[in-house]
């Protein structure tokens, strides 16, 4: 017989092991849902980070609590936590069953419910009648994590209580409240937890070496400051994929043209003045010592 439970109600458990199955209806814009469990002591907090069982830590070291793979059924998607109540350590007083929404809030998750099965009578992967059914309803719709229920000790036995308590701080905020150390220096991209900080033991900060006071500080002497760093040398700009241009060849002055021979006549220097635009150009005076070279008879005048 299945107990349809209301928020805050509880039922005794005769089963030695139980399986809590989260079920919801997927669809466009519906966030994914992940199941998790926290093993809590008498003080209401975990004993260590190993007491948190979720998608990145799917099995407790004792083997008493484990996270099962997700399944797609006709009724919807499921994610489950299985607990062996008979092998739980005496220091564990409660097993908190939680859910977190990836990519949205629980106001967009449809038909969310918890089904509690006898894990021995109905093994995983087989169909059967659940012990209890609790339809989880968020209070504001902005919750990104929910405590759906809890398994707790009562005398020599165990009971299940339906809760439905929401958290707007997500799985990280829920886990931190129960004493889990959260390292928020990175973001995880694992399945079911994208965009949330990884839940793990926070690494201790490195010890800093004590600062040594210089002897000059005790005497009041002025301590010289550090030497200035050399100015950085300019670097050549990148060519954006093109090869760098070859170095420019050295500049060679043009050769001075040599005057052509005058074929036996003395060379006359070129005039240096500007053209006179139709006026006679300046001519130097003839050299009185100039004599024509010897000429043949064909150039001699007739006598």
Q: How many CB atoms lie within 10 A of CB 163?
A: 20
Nearest of 103, 114, 101, 135 to residue 33 by alpha carbon:
101
* Residue 222 pLDDT class (50, 70, 90 cuts): low
Question: In the 3-class helix/strand/coil scheme, how is 246-264 assigned residue by residue?
Answer: CCCCCCCCCCCCCCCCCCC
Q: In the structure encoding, which two tokens stand for residue 222, read together? A: 């002025």
Percent of the chain residues topping a pLDDT of 90: 57
* Distance from C-alpha of 209 to C-alpha of 279, rounded to nearest angstrom: 98
Q: In the structure encoding, which two tokens stand for residue 172, read together? A: 């990280």
Give me the pLDDT at residue 122, please.
94
Q: If residue 278 lies in a helix (H) or strand (E), which one and from where to where?
A: none
* Distance from C-alpha of 166 to C-alpha of 182, rounded to nearest angstrom: 19
* Distance from C-alpha of 271 to C-alpha of 231, rounded to nearest angstrom: 58
The string of pLDDT tens digits covering residues 231-282 is 656 555 555 555 666 666 677 666 666 655 555 555 555 555 555 566 566 5
Give me the pLDDT at residue 270, please.
52
The string of pLDDT tens digits covering residues 110-138 is 999 999 999 999 998 888 999 999 999 99
* Distance from C-alpha of 239 to C-alpha of 236, rounded to nearest angstrom: 9
**Long-range residue pairs from 265-269, CB within 8 A, at least 24 positions apart, any chain:** 266/290
pLDDT at 291 over 80: no
* Residue 298 pLDDT class (50, 70, 90 cuts): low
64-75 mean pLDDT: 95
The string of pLDDT tens digits covering residues 181-209 is 876 554 444 444 434 445 554 433 333 44
Give me the pLDDT at residue 125, please.
83
Q: Please state whether the predicted TM-score (pTM) of the whole model is above 0.85.
A: no
Give me the pLDDT at residue 287, please.
72
Percent helix, strand and coil across the chain, each rounded to 5?
A: 10, 30, 60
Give me the pLDDT at residue 221, please.
46
Q: In the structure encoding, which two tokens stand for residue 221, read together? A: 């002497």
């Amino acid at each position: 017989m299945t107990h349809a439970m209301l928020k805050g109600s509880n039922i005794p458990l005769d089963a030695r092991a139980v399986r809590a199955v989260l079920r919801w209806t997927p669809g466009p814009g519906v966030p994914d849902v992940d199941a998790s469990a926290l093993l809590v002591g008498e003080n209401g907090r975990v004993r260590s980070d190993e007491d948190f069982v979720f998608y990145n830590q799917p099995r407790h070291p004792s083997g008493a609590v484990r996270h099962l793979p997700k399944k797609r059924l006709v009724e919807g998607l499921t994610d489950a936590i299985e607990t062996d109540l008979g092998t739980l350590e005496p220091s564990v007083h409660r097993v908190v069953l939680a859910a977190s929404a990836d990519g949205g809030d629980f106001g967009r998750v449809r038909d969310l419910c918890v089904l509690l099965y006898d894990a021995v009578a109905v093994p995983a992967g087989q169909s059967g009648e659940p012990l209890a059914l609790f339809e989880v309803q968020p209070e504001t719709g902005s919750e990104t994590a929910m405590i759906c229920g809890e398994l707790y000790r009562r005398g020599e036995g165990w009971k299940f209580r339906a809760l439905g308590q929401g958290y707007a701080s997500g799985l990280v905020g829920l886990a931190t409240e129960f004493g889990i150390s959260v390292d928020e220096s990175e973001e995880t991209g694992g399945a079911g937890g994208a965009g949330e900080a990884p839940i793990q033991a926070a690494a201790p900060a490195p010890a800093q070496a004590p600062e040594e006071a210089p002897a000059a500080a005790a005497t009041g002497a002025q301590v010289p400051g550090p030497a200035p760093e050399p100015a950085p040398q300019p670097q050549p700009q990148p060519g954006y994929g093109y090869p760098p241009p070859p170095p420019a060849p050295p500049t060679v002055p043009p050769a001075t043209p040599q005057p052509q021979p005058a074929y036996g006549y003395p060379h006359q220097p070129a005039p240096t003045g500007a053209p006179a635009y139709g006026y006679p150009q300046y001519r130097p005076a003839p050299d009185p010592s100039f004599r024509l070279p010897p000429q043949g008879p064909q150039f001699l005048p007739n006598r």
